[in-house]
């Protein structure tokens, strides 16, 4: 095995997907504690403030120096180099989360046992399903009176359209929570509230008829466990790693992050079974991580962390080969060479300049405006990685410059913040000076206004547009496309790649357009468009 193979087989790059409040911050922190990356609880900044108000979000923005170090948290655990990617919790920033998911090889889904499957979880799982991303599931807060575990499994299977395969099974819940039984290892893992788990709390019970079970969890919970396990084996097929790796079934663990319970088992299992870097699809071909030549793509940009000087960090996911400091690469979109003297790797609370990085790693590149989200870097081949789509915005606004004498700042700010992915910018056909913004959530509009004013000293105002549904449009008949654009000009926008978008004010309006133009194809994300204008 060469060095590249060895390195990539060590990598485990994943993200946590969850609905706010289900315990993502707590679990992240515990994973980092077990991974030895942090030593005290409370070191991971909670994204919680972002859930409610814009003002809280702005406060967070002021502290964006922190968010850069929690964007990627790297640590070593049992021989694997783990890269945990943070994704925003707020639904208004879901595009950022979807892009983050393009840079990982697997996901950890957290479900709150009291609330069950929630809205955000459904959407994020849908994105994972589109890409066949393997998902492991942790059902959290078993120390609270939650839903029945069988009901939780049914709900997960039904609502997330994924097979569920329990790996551990809870014994009691809430105040009566006694621990879990590992169905695979046939071990009882006992829960002692408020106490760090000891090796003596893990007891092998190969045969559930063993009276030791009664001794440890009491008569009624022992009988319940026996009944449950008999029932489970009739309902759920045993865990099969290939089904998990294909994204068809999810292993399910139960525990309580706040009590440190079940996290170590989760991390141990992830490090043995989670996939190492997977092949990534470019428009031209599939790129395999073990290919000798380096390739990677930018999935996130953070700008202006330090208001004193304009700095930006582009986050690049290495997809194949070995990335080397000071080596000259090829920036595919511009066709220009690219080289960096200070590529950065991120640890839990730290960052360091690195000489090399391998598939699965995330490299931070200090950038002065070279990169846009979705850019590919290679050793010379012209390929473009897929899977970093723009999602159809729901909210549109004309944006106008409220300080006409500050036109330069206005355009610069708008362009840079669009490159960072804060908003999408469109133009109107034949009206080159008109700019339209598209966002997925209202908060994005307010953040843009705030950042324009504070970072670029430019005030901007919005004017309404009465549309809430958008689709990218293409056709393999250029004449038909031209006619379509002319006939619907009022409702047409053009994105930065020159592809047309049609806005509609209602689902019925869109259906009418679709029926009237059978030669057109309509898409809900930008990367689905087959023919470019």
Q: Which residues bind ligand G4P (CB under 6 A)?
A: 18, 20-26, 46, 48, 89, 140-141, 143-144, 256-259
By beta-carbon proximity to ligand G4P, the closer residue of 114 and 354 is 114
Write down the least CB distance from residue 285 to ligand G4P, Å.
Answer: 38
Write down the least CB distance from residue 16 to ligand G4P, Å.
Answer: 8
By beta-carbon proximity to ligand G4P, the closer residue of 169 and 517 is 169
By beta-carbon proximity to ligand G4P, the closer residue of 40 and 206 is 40
- Report CA-CA distances (Å) from 376 to 203, 279, 281, 333: 50, 15, 12, 7
Answer yes or no: are the C-beta atoms of 84 and 16 closer than 8 Å: yes
Write down the least CB distance from residue 114 to ligand G4P, Å.
Answer: 9
By beta-carbon proximity to ligand G4P, the closer residue of 5 and 145 is 145
Write down the least CB distance from residue 293 to ligand G4P, Å.
Answer: 39
The 3-class SS string of 217-269 reads HCHHHHHHHHHHHHHHHHHCCCCCHHHHHCCCEEEEEECEHHHCECHHHHHHH
Write down the least CB distance from residue 141 to ligand G4P, Å.
Answer: 4
Which of 331, 282, 296, 302 has the alpha carbon at shortest distance from 421? 302
Distance of alpha carbon 72 from alpha carbon 264, whole angstroms: 20
By beta-carbon proximity to ligand G4P, the closer residue of 11 and 90 is 90
Write down the least CB distance from residue 19 to ligand G4P, Å.
Answer: 7
Distance of alpha carbon 150 from alpha carbon 166, whole angstroms: 10
Write down the least CB distance from residue 49 to ligand G4P, Å.
Answer: 10
By beta-carbon proximity to ligand G4P, the closer residue of 48 and 411 is 48
Cβ contacts of residue 497 below 8 Å, gap of 6+? Answer: 526, 532
The 3-class SS string of 168-203 reads EEEECCHHHCCEEEECCCCEEEECCCCCCCCHHHEE
Q: Are strands 376-378 and 295-303 parallel, antiparallel or unpaired?
A: antiparallel
Answer yes or no: are the C-beta atoms of 86 and 72 closer than 8 Å: yes
C-alpha 47: how far from its chain's center?
14
By beta-carbon proximity to ligand G4P, the closer residue of 257 and 501 is 257
């Amino acid at each position: 095995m060469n060095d590249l193979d060895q390195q990539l087989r060590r990598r485990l790059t994943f993200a946590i997907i969850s609905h706010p409040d289900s315990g993502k911050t707590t679990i992240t922190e515990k994973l980092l504690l077990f991974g030895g990356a942090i030593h005290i609880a409370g070191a991971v900044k909670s994204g919680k403030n972002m859930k409610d108000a814009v003002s809280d979000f702005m406060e967070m923005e002021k502290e964006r120096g922190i968010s850069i170090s929690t964007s990627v948290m790297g640590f070593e655990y049992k021989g694997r180099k783990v890269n945990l990617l943070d994704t925003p919790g707020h639904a208004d920033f879901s595009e950022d989360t979807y892009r983050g998911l393009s840079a990982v090889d697997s996901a950890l889904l957290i479900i709150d046992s009291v609330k069950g499957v929630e809205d955000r979880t459904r959407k994020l799982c849908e994105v994972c399903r589109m890409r066949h991303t393997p998902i492991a599931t942790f059902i959290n807060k078993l120390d609270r009176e939650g839903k029945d575990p069988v009901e939780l499994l049914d709900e997960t299977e039904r609502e997330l359209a994924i097979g569920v395969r329990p790996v551990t099974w809870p014994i009691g819940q809430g105040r009566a929570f006694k621990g879990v039984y590992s169905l695979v290892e046939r071990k009882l893992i006992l829960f002692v509230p408020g106490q760090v788990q000891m090796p003596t709390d893990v007891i092998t019970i190969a045969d559930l008829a063993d009276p030791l079970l009664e001794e440890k969890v009491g008569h009624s919970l022992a009988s319940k466990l026996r009944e449950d396990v008999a029932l489970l084996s009739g309902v759920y097929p045993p865990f099969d790693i290939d089904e998990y790796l294909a994204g068809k079934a999810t292993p399910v663990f139960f525990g309580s992050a706040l009590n440190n319970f079940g996290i170590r088992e989760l991390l141990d299992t992830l490090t043995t079974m989670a996939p190492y870097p997977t092949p990534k699809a470019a428009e031209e071909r599939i790129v395999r991580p073990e290919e000798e030549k380096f390739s990677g793509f930018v999935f996130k940009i953070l700008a202006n962390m330090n208001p004193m000087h304009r700095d930006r960090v582009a986050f690049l996911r290495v997809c194949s080969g070995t990335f080397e400091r000071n080596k000259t690469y090829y920036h595919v979109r511009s066709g220009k060479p690219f080289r960096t003297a200070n590529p950065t790797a991120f640890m839990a609370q730290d960052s360091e300049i690195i000489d090399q990085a391998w598939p699965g790693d995330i490299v931070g590149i200090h950038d002065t405006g070279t990169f846009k989200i979705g850019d590919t870097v290679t050793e010379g081949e012209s390929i473009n990685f897929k899977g970093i789509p723009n999602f159809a915005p729901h909210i549109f606004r004309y944006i106008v410059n409220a300080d006409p004498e500050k036109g330069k700042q206005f355009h610069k700010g708008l362009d840079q913040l669009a490159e960072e992915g804060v908003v999408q910018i469109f133009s109107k056909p034949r009206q080159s000076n008109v700019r339209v913004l598209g966002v997925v959530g209202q908060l994005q509009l307010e953040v843009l206004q705030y950042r324009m004013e504070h970072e670029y000293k430019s005030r901007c105002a919005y004017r309404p547009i009465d549309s809430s549904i958008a689709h990218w449009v293409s056709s393999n008949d250029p004449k038909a496309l031209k006619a379509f654009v002319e006939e619907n000009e009022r409702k047409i926008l053009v994105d930065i790649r020159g592809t047309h978008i049609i806005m509609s004010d209602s689902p019925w309006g869109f259906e009418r357009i679709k029926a009237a133009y059978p030669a057109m194809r309509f898409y809900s994300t930008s990367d689905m468009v087959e023919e470019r204008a």
